[in-house]
Amino acid sequence: MISYEQPGTAVWRLSFTNASTGYGCTSNGKVVKTTNSGENWYIQNTSLTENLYDIHFPSANTGYIASWSGKILKTTNGGANFVSAAVNAEIVPNGFELYQNYPNPFNPVTVIRYSLARRSGLIEKRFVNLKVYDVSGKEVVSLVNKKQNSGNYEIEFDASDYPSGIYLYRLTIDGNSIDTKRMILLK
């Protein structure tokens, strides 16, 4: 059992760097540390007050903590202080991709996701067209018809005004058809 004098606080995760030194992340934004195999735990303050989700110490001095909201802090001095870790949160895909909608079948709303790649290592705008068709090939609606930067996108398709049936959606980038997928509307 892990305990320290902080009633109502849970320790979510532990990370030990050796047999005697370990760290835990708590539900109130604190890190607890032991240097005697868990006999005693000491509070290491962070700048956070929210729940900490995960903790990892790859070495005795370097460690990372993550909060439920996605903040990441780093220490390089064994937890004496934590600073915001630089994280590249923007992931730009290397290819074009149209993903299967979800849910599928759907009633009446579904989400369509797609990825736009960068060209020559640059993030650039491309002309994107995402259209929905009925099974006869007649255009039902144009969901996207504009220039967009490289990246990952998702859009909701609300089919409240359309009858049950099979629909197709096609992604076209800079005039080139990338992919077409099928979705089923069940009412």
pTM, two decimal places: 0.51
- Per-residue pLDDT, 89: 47
Overall average pLDDT of the 24-30 stretch: 82
pLDDT at 173 over 80: yes
Domains and CATH numbers, the chain: 11-84 (2.40.10.500), 97-185 (2.60.40.1930)
Both tokens assigned to 11: 């320790």
Overall average pLDDT of the 115-143 stretch: 84
DSSP secondary structure, 122-185, as one string? B--EEEEEEEEEETTS-EEEEEEEEEEESEEEEEEEE-TTS-SEEEEEEEEETTEEEEEEEEEE
Residue 25's identity, in one-letter code, is C
d(CA 44, CA 54): 15
Percent of the chain with pLDDT over 70: 86
